[in-house]
Amino acid sequence: MHNGVIENYSDLKRELEERGHVFRSETDTEAIAHLIEEHYDGDLLAAVNATLSHLQGSYALLVIMEDTERIIAARNASPIVLGVGDSEFFAASDLTPLLDYTERVIYLDDGDVADITPDRLDIYHEGQKVERPVELVNWCVEDTRKGGFDHYMLKEIFEQPQSFYETIRAGVDEGVRRMLMDAGEITLVACGTSYHTTLVFKYLAESLCNIPIRIEMGSEFKYFTGPLRGLVIAVSQSGETTDTIAALNMAKARNCPTLAITNVQGSTLTRVADRTLLMRAGPEIGVAATKSYTAQLAALIQIINLRCEGMFNDILSHAHLAIGDILLYDVEDAVALCSQADHAFFIGRGPFYPVAMEGALKMKEISYVHAEGYAAGELKHGPFALLTPETPVIAICAPGSTYNVMVSNVKEVKARRAPVIALGVEGDTELPEIADIFIPIPDTHLLVQVLTASVVLQLLAYHTACALGRDVDRPRNLAKSVTVE
């Protein structure tokens, strides 16, 4: 079993075929099996070690052999977590599948090879036997059950008030506090949903407390790295996102102080970074990130609050209540519109622009409705050509300096006959008049509006996917933890 990418697969395959090996597939994984066969002389561990020296790329590897009770596990740039039970051991690429069996885990380091039998676990690094610590997981197995909900994703959406509150309540330890207060410049690196949370953070941090923020996409950072100065923060739900880990390693190589924001203590990211700010979301089973998204925002907003000397303490202590109120909202009319569409646009300005991007990501990854998130002012620079009466536009129109121009953008969309679903605060009298569907959110502080608007868009995507009969928790072609480049 192999998770990862063998970069020199083509060369290995050609050499193996020249030596008489016959391949049955086009996968890079099969080359590993042929190499192990070639090196095997009765000692499976030795055969795997000999094979690893030929591999270039990433691998989390489990090797078993017929008629033996033995597993050889090997890791390089792809995660392996070992579970320690009572006279039994388990192996997985993520912590969550192990929770049904044990609360004790071992994280392998890059270059580790584990020799596992029913009664023994030996770990080697560069040929030398090593010890890796057994860590206790504080997640409850009941957190991995659906708990009466139709889908894990819906359960996790409803868990957001608690996970946000727990993350805020946990606070920031003194070492992280000093690191954040001393930072003159901050660079954040992330991928996917985590990237969207860092963009929200950039808008909020620069406007509320005047911190210069630079945001980098993890998958690009490795190849196009600009000059690095100051604190580098890596954000990843699993702590095993390959591109983000590579970026953090590059930052460390340039002597930058590093901070990890993640949901999994003991994950690779926490072991690479100088310090860790831990989210408190608990296990997230659904592939589409929901509670980990708002928990990341909780962690990032804490940084803003810290740099603003606790200015938002009261707001943050009550924000979970507003999230809870949103969960009861009826989005049925909006779902009816979106479920009939092939394409949709999500628009916003300021911090609501990345919120729109995240809403579009949720819609396309679980409903398969093609959706794009745009800064509202950019529609006129090309995307207007795609608007039709069958193309809904979801617009986030919160009060503030951009409200009037957002209303103008909505009118421009309506002039092109596209239906509009508008999110605005309760009591707004203008938006209900011009939008086809109006969804009110609480009239609260900007920090909270970012959260409540995000949850509404999660619900919209979820119910649209259900209306279309999609497999909400396991959308096609996607994995929960992106552990390959």
**CATH number assigned to the domain comprising residue 71:** 3.60.20.10
- What's the confidence (pLDDT) of residue 379? 86
Q: Are residues 108 and 28 in the same domain?
A: yes
Q: Are residues 95 and 185 in the same domain?
A: no
Single residue among 136, 151, 180 that ends a domain in this structure = 136
- Residue 308 token pair: 């603003």
| pLDDT exceeds cutoff 80 at 480 | no
Identify whether the C-beta of residue 270 lies closer than 8 Å to the C-beta of residue 242: no
Identify whether the C-beta of residue 326 lies closer than 8 Å to the C-beta of residue 441: yes
- What's the confidence (pLDDT) of residue 223? 83
Identify whether the C-beta of residue 439 lies closer than 8 Å to the C-beta of residue 423: yes
- What's the confidence (pLDDT) of residue 481? 61
Q: Residues 291-311: what's their mean pLDDT?
A: 96
Q: Are residues 190 and 270 in the same domain?
A: yes
Residue 267, number of CB atoms within 10 A of its CB = 25
- Residue 242 token pair: 């390959």
Q: How far is CA 126 from CA 109, 116, 130, 339, in A?
A: 11, 17, 10, 54
Q: Are residues 186 and 310 in the same domain?
A: yes
Q: Residues 373-402: what's their mean pLDDT?
A: 93
- What's the confidence (pLDDT) of residue 121? 95
H or E segment to which residue 51 belongs: helix 44-52
Least confident of 37-46, 139-148, 437-446, 465-474: 139-148
Q: Are residues 181 and 310 in the same domain?
A: yes
Single residue among 303, 326, 349 that ends a domain in this structure = 326
Q: Which residue do the tokens 């529609």 mark?
A: 379
In a domain, 187, yes or no: yes
The pLDDT tens digits for 114-158 are 999 988 999 999 999 999 999 888 776 666 677 788 999 999 999
- What's the confidence (pLDDT) of residue 308? 95
Integer Cα distance of 475 and 473 in angstroms:
6
Q: Across the strands, what pairs with 62?
A: 73
Q: Across the strands, what pairs with 76?
A: 59
| pLDDT exceeds cutoff 90 at 19 | yes
Q: Are residues 363 and 276 in the same domain?
A: no
**CATH number assigned to the domain comprising residue 300:** 3.40.50.10490
Q: Residues 3-15: what's their mean pLDDT?
A: 94
In a domain, 142, yes or no: no
Integer Cα distance of 436 and 444 in angstroms:
24
**Alpha helix locations (H) across 254-382?**
268-272, 291-307, 313-326, 332-338, 352-367
Q: Are residues 400 and 364 in the same domain?
A: yes
Spatial CA neighbour of 352 closest among 237, 202, 212, 463: 202
* Count of domains forming the chain: 3
The pLDDT tens digits for 318-361 are 999 999 999 989 999 999 999 999 999 999 999 999 999 999 99
Q: Residues 354-377: what's their mean pLDDT?
A: 97
- What's the confidence (pLDDT) of residue 144? 67
Q: Are residues 122 and 13 in the same domain?
A: yes
- What's the confidence (pLDDT) of residue 470? 96
- What's the confidence (pLDDT) of residue 479? 72
The band of 96, judged by pLDDT with boundaries at 50, 70 and 90, is confident
- What's the confidence (pLDDT) of residue 196? 98
The band of 237, judged by pLDDT with boundaries at 50, 70 and 90, is very high
Q: Are residues 186 and 318 in the same domain?
A: yes
Integer Cα distance of 145 and 79 in angstroms:
24
Integer Cα distance of 185 and 217 in angstroms:
17
Single residue among 275, 302, 326 that ends a domain in this structure = 326
The pLDDT tens digits for 456-472 are 999 999 999 999 999 99
Percent of the chain with pLDDT over 70: 98
- What's the confidence (pLDDT) of residue 45? 96
Q: Are residues 93 and 41 in the same domain?
A: yes
SS3 91: strand
In a domain, 175, yes or no: yes
Higher pLDDT, 266 or 59: 59
Integer Cα distance of 99 and 144 in angstroms:
8
The band of 409, judged by pLDDT with boundaries at 50, 70 and 90, is very high
Q: Residues 442-453: what's their mean pLDDT?
A: 96
Integer Cα distance of 187 and 213 in angstroms:
6
Percent of the chain with pLDDT over 90: 80
Q: Are residues 42 and 187 in the same domain?
A: no
- What's the confidence (pLDDT) of residue 423? 97
| pLDDT exceeds cutoff 90 at 79 | no
In a domain, 483, yes or no: no
In a domain, 307, yes or no: yes
In a domain, 143, yes or no: no
Q: Residues 474-479: what's their mean pLDDT?
A: 86
Higher pLDDT, 137 or 244: 244
Q: Are residues 334 and 469 in the same domain?
A: yes
In a domain, 145, yes or no: no
In a domain, 18, yes or no: yes
H or E segment to which residue 142 belongs: none
Show the domain range for 303: 163-326
The pLDDT tens digits for 173-186 are 999 999 999 998 99
**Alpha helix locations (H) across 222-264?**
242-253
